[in-house]
Amino acid sequence: MRKLYLLLLLMSLAFTVTVNAQKRADYFPQSQLITTGVYYYPEHWDSTQWERDFRNMAAMGFEFTHFAEFAWAQLEPKEGKYDFAWLDKALALAAKYNLKVIMCTSTCTPPVWLVRKHPSILLLDENGVREDHGSRQAASFSSNYYRQYSLKMVAELAKHYGKDSRIVGWQIDNEPTSYFDYNPDAQQRFRDWLKNRYGTIDALNKTWGTSFWSQTYSDFSEINIPEHKQWGMNLNQRLDHYRFVASETSSFLDDQAREIKKYASPRQWITSNYIPSYGCGYIGASKELDFLTYTRYMVYGEDQGVGPKGYRLGDPYRIAMSNDFFRPLSPYYGVMELQPGQVNWGRINPQPLPGAVRLWLWHQFAGGSKLVCTYRYRAPLTGYEQYHYGIVGTDGVTPTTGGLEYQKFIQEVNLLRKDYTLGTKLPSGYLARKTAILFNHENIWGMDMNKQTDQWNSLGHISKYYNTLKSFGAPVDFIVDSSDFLKYPVLIAPAYQQIDKALIDKLTSYVKAGGNLVLTCRTGHKDHEMHLWEAKFAAPIYDLIGSEIESFDLPMPQSQDSVLMDNKTYAWKTWGELLKPLPGTEVWATYQGEFYAGKPAVITRKLGKGTVTYVGVDSNKGLLEKEVLKKLYNRLNIPVENYPEGVTVEYRDGFGIGVNYGDKKYQLNIPDDAQILIGTKELPTAGVAVWKLK
Ligand code: GAL
């Protein structure tokens, strides 16, 4: 009987796996390439205008809309009294124009009755200041009441819409983030979380190093959430708090997803729309989501981009990096919000350059995205976001420049859909330079908490390698410890500060099997609890890199030094490690002017069938990093491009996509047998070209 039971269980498990795989494949048919939609807030407008709006939206080519993101007060106007009638009506009208709907859980805007009944759901900051009703995202994911009420509302929503075939999927919350809350619930949940992590107070004391400065605890009840702004606060207490808030965010999303799944058809997918804060720790941590989406705003008055007018197009690596970060995290990724025009919340809010919105649309497409949506259809007339653009302007009907660019993108995608051939191979050179960047947000937390020099920028350091790879035209995946390294001929682990033996062994096997590893300064200095080794600096990586690390220097910014590589010098002023290579390790660059002039700064060695390159210095502009990678790829016979800043070329589904954020036109090298479907070989500023591979 037990054997039979086990067999049946295994069979049913196999069936579930197949069904889930099947379900996933069905969400976004490959031949559709991408689907485009737009946010609509029926509750903001007179209901007599809804039909006109959906008709116009559909006429522009939008395929789905997005409801109820901030509508908790309309959905549950009084405790336990739900009103779905208005949303039913909007849904029916959207469906009349063949618009599918994404249903949102409006948890980031709790209604005033809930806030006044339980003021403790509001965030309390480290200075004792409490948020109030009147904005959004003022409630704490660590409030037990907030969680309970949220899940109740989500359950009612899922009961009502979970079987509705007009709803394609769910978005949980809005741009979930991590909250530092000092309310009693948060304090208690933090203590419980610590107890669960450490088991005993002695284990916590040991890890936190509480013998230092007389910090020893005798019971978990004595521990408080750390005051991050207080000078000298215990680093492990802060690290654990970062971990805790990230897990509060991911578990809140998971709890909501589980609630939806109780009532919803598996045909409806579940996601959330994340701000790409790479060092946050919760993106990718909610295991109940079917795939992830990100939100992106490109022009908000910051002085970024190429050339003096670059701020009207934005940073050329901003969408690229989000694509490459989100894609490996789940079976698909999408972009839930992509700026439609001017915003209201920047320091200065300039107009994007005409063509910018379409450029961004094609750029997110180029990374492989399956869904793109924009915030929002109509420009708001009231509320905090006055002057924020939409697809149509303040009159509710006239398309904006960005609106017309969305329309054009949709028409162009329709053209591609006709020309799509399943299974077209991507160019061999593109695949040959596929590179992975090993990333762990805990390194960012660790280094930012203990910078050693305020000149250090953790994400900026990674960008120096990432931007180079994009100039090479390399497809890049951000990967994690557990990923399959062997899929990538080159793997870069920039400033991977916190490391363990298992990872060092895995990296060593990767290299011995033929992989080419690039490690950079600060790597391996500490263990996962941010403790230094009781050994020389970064000692556990010496065997791998073929060198010792004698010490490191952090010069004053006004007396920067330089390193010499292949007769060229590169300025640096943040972090420089003095390397002491072992026999068999080759020196590529040395320090120039300091008392350690002549000491190696960049080294490389062969190990098994592969190579390890160690870049012990962080150069000012990333030019040294670029030279090192050029030299390495050249040695490895990996073909690379040399795109100027702002030009990116990617391939997906048998199409090549080129975009230009630069201030000069660029001549694309498109193979003669490729058919150009959009644009021309000459790529002007804000230009896009799409070609079909043979
Ligand atoms: C996003 C947010 C949207 C909207 C938008 C305005 O960050 O998710 O709800 O506020 O900004 O640009």
Residues 6+ apart with CB under 8 A from 368: 323, 327, 333, 652
CA-nearest of 147, 217, 219 to 179 is 147
- CATH number of the domain residue 482 falls in: 3.40.50.880
Give the pLDDT confidence score for residue 22 in this predicted structure: 42
Quick one: 348 and 497 in the same domain?
no
Residue 250 has pLDDT above 50, yes or no: yes
Answer yes or no: do 163 and 287 share one domain.
yes
Dihedral, CA atoms, 322, 323, 326, 329, nearest 10 degrees? Answer: -150
For 6-38, how does the pLDDT look when each residue is reduced to its tens digit (9 = 90+)?
A: 444 444 444 443 344 445 447 999 999 999 999
Q: Is the CB of 70 under 6 A from ligand 1?
A: no
pLDDT tens column, 442-489: 999 999 999 999 999 999 999 999 999 999 999 999 999 999 999 999
The amino acid at 273: N
- Distance (Å, whole) CA 293 – CA 275: 9
C-alpha distances (whole Å) from 79 to each of 111, 112, 334, 489 are 9, 10, 35, 57
Mean pLDDT over residues 59-71, rounded?
Answer: 98
Q: What is the CATH number of the domain that holds 659?
A: 2.60.40.1180
Residues 366 and 479 in one domain: no
- With respect to residue 102, please indicate whether it lies within any of the assigned structural domains: yes
What are the residue ranges of helices labelled H in 97-200? 112-117, 144-161, 184-198
Residue 14 placed within a domain: no
pLDDT for res 442 = 98
C-beta 629 within 6 A of ligand 1:
no
pLDDT tens by residue, 141-156? 999 999 999 999 999 9
Asked if residue 619 and residue 488 are part of one domain, the reply reads: yes
Q: What is the CA radius of gyration of the chain?
A: 27
Mean pLDDT of 603-632: 98
343 lines ligand 1 (CB under 6 A): yes
Distance from the alpha carbon of residue 337 to the mean position of ligand 1, in angstroms: 8
Out of 375, 387, 388, 391, mutate this one to test ligand 1's pocket (max ligand atoms within 8 Å of CB): namely 375
Does residue 542 sit in the same domain as residue 681? no
- CA nearest ligand 1 atom 3, residue: 375
Last residue of a domain, which of 594, 611, 635? 635
pLDDT at 378 over 60: yes
Count, residues in the chain: 694
CA 344 to chain centre: 23
Q: Are residues 139 and 277 in the same domain?
A: yes
Q: How far apart are CA 7 and CA 53, in angstroms?
A: 55
341, 357 contact by CB (below 8 A): yes
Tell me if 242 is assigned to some domain: no
Q: For residue 255, which amino acid is it? A: D
What is residue 437's three-state secondary structure? strand
Residue 174 Cβ contacting ligand 1 at under 6 Å: yes
Residue 336: CATH number of its domain: 3.20.20.80
Peptide bond between residue 376 and the one before it cis (omega within 30 degrees of 0)? yes
Percent with pLDDT over 70 in the chain: 96
Residue 99: name the closest of 47, 26, 36 by CA. Answer: 36
Q: Is residue 12 part of a domain?
A: no
Residue 514 in this model has a pLDDT that exceeds 90: yes
User: How many A from CA of 293 to the centre of ligand 1?
Assistant: 14
539-562 b/e with 16+ CB inside 10 Å = b? ebbbebbbbbbeebbebeeeeebb
Distance from Cα 111 to the centre of ligand 1, integer Å = 19
DSSP structure class, residue 398: S
For ligand 1, whether the C-beta of 104 sits within 6 Å is no
Whether 340 is in a domain gets the answer yes
> Coil, helix or strand for 664?
coil
Contact assessment for residue 515 and residue 486, using Cβ atoms and an 8 Å cutoff: yes
Q: Find the helix or strand (DSSP H, E) in which 492 lies.
A: strand 490-493
Mutation pick for ligand 1 pocket among 136, 300, 337 (CB with most ligand atoms within 8 Å): 337
pLDDT of residue 673: 87
Structural domain ending residue among the three candidates 389, 419, 449: 419
Quick check: 462 and 437 in contact, CB under 8 A? yes
Nearest CA owner, ligand 1 atom 5: 375
388 and 282 in a single domain? The answer is yes
Contacts of 38 (CB under 8 A, 6+ apart): 57, 62, 65, 66, 373, 374, 376, 377, 391, 406
Residues 292 and 346 in one domain: yes
- List helix spans (H) across 264-281: none
Count how many domains the chain has: 3
Check whether 200 has a pLDDT greater than 50: yes
Percent of the chain at pLDDT exceeding 90: 94
In this predicted structure, the answer to whether residue 130 has a pLDDT above a threshold of 70 is yes
pLDDT tens column, 399-448: 999 999 999 999 999 999 998 998 888 999 999 999 999 999 999 999 99
Q: Whose CA is nearest to atom 4 of ligand 1?
A: 375
Contacts of 347 (CB under 8 A, 6+ apart): 300, 301, 302
The model's pLDDT over 162-192, given as tens digits with 9 standing for 90+, comes to 999 999 999 999 999 999 999 999 999 999 9
Asked whether the beta carbons of 492 and 594 are under 8 A apart, the reply is no
Query: Per the domain annotation, does 236 fall within a domain?
Result: no
Residues 358 and 456 in one domain: no
- What's residue 338's pLDDT? 98
Q: Is residue 428 part of a domain?
A: no
Q: Which of 592, 612, 635 is the last residue of a domain?
A: 635
Which two three-digit tokens encode residue 306?
């190429």
Cα gap 336→168, rounded to integer Å: 14
Lowest mean pLDDT among 9-13, 510-514, 607-611, 677-681: 9-13
* 320 and 470 Cβ atoms separated by less than 8 Å: yes
The CB of 272 under 6 Å from ligand 1? The reply is no
3-state secondary structure 308-357: CCHHHCCCCCHHHHHHHHHHHHCCCEEEEEECCCCCCCCCCCCCCCCCHH
Place of tokens 């999408």: 334
Handedness of CA 615, 541, 210, 184 (dihedral sign): positive
Residue nearest ligand 1's atom 8 by CA:
175
Ligand 1 pocket, 295 CB below 6 A?
A: yes
CA separation for the pair 104, 139 (Å, rounded): 17
Please report whether residue 1 resides in a domain: no
- Report pLDDT digits (tens) over 557-575: 999 999 999 999 999 999 9
What integer best gives the mean pLDDT of the chain? Answer: 95
Do residues 577 and 475 share a domain? Answer: yes
DSSP 573-623: EEEEEEEEEPTTPEEEEEE-SSTTTT-EEEEEEEETTEEEEEE-EEESSSH
Do 106 and 140 fall within a single domain?
A: yes
* Alpha carbons 35 and 3: distance in angstroms, whole number: 47
Q: Is the CB of 361 under 6 A from ligand 1?
A: no
Check residue 369 and give its pLDDT.
98
Contact 400, 389 (CB under 8 A): yes
pTM, two decimals, is 0.95
Q: Are residues 373 and 446 in the same domain?
A: no
Cα(591) to centroid(ligand 1), Å: 47
Position 26 scores a pLDDT of 75
Q: Of 17-26, 272-281, 600-609, which range is least confident?
A: 17-26
109 CB within 6 A, ligand 1: no
Q: Which domain holds residue 668?
A: 647-692
pLDDT of residue 248 exceeding 70, the answer is yes
3-state SS class at 686: coil
Mean pLDDT over 230-245 rounds to: 98
